[in-house]
Structure 1
Amino acid sequence: MHIMNSEERRRQIASLTAVNGRVTVVELAERFAVTPETIRRDLTVLDNDGALHRVHGGAVPTNTFQTRETPIELRSTTSTEAKIRIGRAATELLPRTGTVFLDAGTTTAMLAHAIAEAGRPDDNPYRNLTVLTNFLPLAVRLSAAGLSDVQLIGGHIRPITQAVVGDIALRTIGVHHADIAFIGTNALSMDHGLSTADAEEAAVKRAMIANSDRVVAMCDSTKFGRDYLVSFANVPEIDVLVTDDAAPHQYLEAFTAEDVTVVTA
């Protein structure tokens, strides 16, 4: 019979916390067949190591529930190589005809770049797509790439992210239906799902998801295990996750268990 040592148990506790978004002393004690006092000592050690954050009765992942957004100019330089690979991988999921929602964000912008680079404007393989987006830079890029029908969703522009939000945007999305939606996220956890800091942006993302037959979440590995205040989708609402090869394996296994197709770029 295998006897688990404290180091191995703590490693598993850290992984469970990252995947589940929150763990309790009671459930961990039962799972590992040790006393609650032992689990509390484990959580103290892991907290001191920065592997998780202790809260009353249990623990949550580090960097949980962030509220401060990063300006689009800075986010565009973060994990750029991974986002480029994610964007290229996402093109494999694109239909040649039909309607597509493209969410605002630096990762979805890389999908737009990959579409634009797929061929000359007069011979782009995606030229027959209808694309609706709430992100001005993305709309400009795609219209220059030769796509025949690129529609910029109207509304209020948030300066920090350059995303178009508000009632007009929601009404526009509500009267359209997409074959597939490509959605970016600021954070992703199994417990809190996909989340962002702003309620208006979350509402637009939620509307795109609700009005699409298929949902593709685009998320680089730095976003896993984090939560922002506003959750806009639960994991089962996602059909495909496109991420990079540095994504934590425990997350990929958890997504697969939820019948989410995982594409690693």
Structure 2
Amino acid sequence: MALADREGRMYATERHQHIADTIDRVGRVSVAGLARDFGVTTETIRRDLDALEQLGRLRRVHGGAVPAGQSALAETSLDERLVRDAAQKDTIARAALALIPPTFRGSVLLDSGSTTGRLAELLAAWAPDENGAVLDISTNSIPLAARLHAVANPHLRLRSLGGAVRGITGAAVGPTTIAQLSEIRPDLAFVGANGVSAEFGLSTPDETEAAAKAAMVHAARRVVVLADSSKLDAESLVRFACLDEIDTLITDAAPAPDLAASLSDADVQVVLA
């Protein structure tokens, strides 16, 4: 009996290490998936997750766990996010740029964010395939508007949306921003998200920024969400859209089966960059 207890403890320790390693690598684990992988009951996995949460190794969420530092209220500055997962964001931005070829004639709305910021850098050099054509760009991001204005590209017509500016993201938000968004109908809106979840939809930590994002979703003819794989299956505090309110998700890794099924049911096109 003592040997069996010792082996059980060793096996639990190995499970705990595997779970912690997976959290660090992937960013999320599910109870059902871990139970299947280890060949144990879901109750055993829940006890494992409880033990790891008490040790500060992870944070329990519905159906699984995420990194301990990942909170529904967690938010970092734009400068910090620009350097995090930079390669993935560059890849996603290039895939997004493919939706605005030199033949494109229309208007674009850019949300505030690090991945949309990468797209803005690419758009700074945009040129049409015929003289005199312009690309109309609206944005609520003060940093992105300043960047696009500085390049003085004659093929870009820039509209900066006003409002109260959030210091951490540089985004204009509030009633003024929402009122201006209600007066435009852009052909394409590129929107960022802190979380893309099968159950909760698209979310972000701040309610004022969520309101601005929701207004963008409602304003645009086509909504394209730019989200690197760390945002998939994550949930932030405030939902700004359901999955069936968006048209396309551009990301750098295939969504997990549950999220992929929900995206398919919502008729969302998934583009892997």
- In structure 2, what residue type is equivalent to 1:59? G
Bigger-Rg structure (1/2): 2
Deviations 1:89-126 (A, max 9, x none): 0011226111221100110011111122345xx97999
| Count of residue correspondences | 239
Q: Tell me by how many angstroms 1:147 deviates.
A: 3.4
User: Sequence identity of aligned pairs in percent?
Assistant: 37
Q: Equivalents in 1 of 2:115, 2:60: separation in Å?
A: 32
Q: Equivalents in 1 of 2:237, 2:160: separation in Å?
A: 27
The aligned counterpart of 2:224 is: 216
Instruction: Give the conservation status (yes or no) of the 8 Å contact 2:60–2:66.
Output: no
Pairs within 5 Å for 1:142-181? 142-143=148-149, 144-181=152-189
Pairs within 5 Å for 1:159-238? 159-238=167-246
- In structure 2, what residue type is equivalent to 1:89? A
Q: Aligned Cα RMSD in Å?
A: 3.6
The aligned counterpart of 1:4 is: none
What TM-score do the two structures reach when normalised by structure 2? 0.74
The aligned counterpart of 2:7 is: none
Deviations 1:210-262 (A, max 9, x none): 011111000011112221111101111111001113x5443663323432111
The aligned counterpart of 1:44 is: 47
Instruction: Give the conservation status (yes or no) of the 8 Å contact 2:214–2:240.
Output: yes
- C-alpha spacing 1:84/1:191, structure 2 compared with 1 (3 Å): same
The aligned counterpart of 2:119 is: 111
Pairs within 5 Å for 1:224-263? 224-245=232-253, 247-250=254-257, 253-254=260-261, 255-263=263-271
Q: Equivalents in 2 of 1:126, 1:195: separation in Å?
A: 39
- In structure 2, runs of 5+ residues without a counterpart are 1-14
Moved more, 189-198 or 201-210: 189-198
Q: Equivalents in 1 of 2:206, 2:240: separation in Å?
A: 10
Q: Tell me by how many angstroms 1:68 deviates.
A: 2.4
Q: Tell me by how many angstroms 1:59 deviates.
A: 3.5
Q: Equivalents in 1 of 2:209, 2:133: separation in Å?
A: 28
Q: Are positions 1:101 and 2:109 aligned together? A: yes
Q: Are positions 1:76 and 2:79 aligned together? A: no
- C-alpha spacing 1:126/1:188, structure 2 compared with 1 (3 Å): farther
Q: Equivalents in 1 of 2:42, 2:209: separation in Å?
A: 39
Instruction: Give the conservation status (yes or no) of the 8 Å contact 1:216–1:241.
Output: yes
The aligned counterpart of 1:3 is: none
- C-alpha spacing 1:226/1:126, structure 2 compared with 1 (3 Å): farther
- Structure ranking higher on relative contact order (CA contacts 8 Å, 6+ apart): 1
- In structure 2, what residue type is equivalent to 1:187? G
Q: Equivalents in 2 of 1:200, 1:186: separation in Å?
A: 14
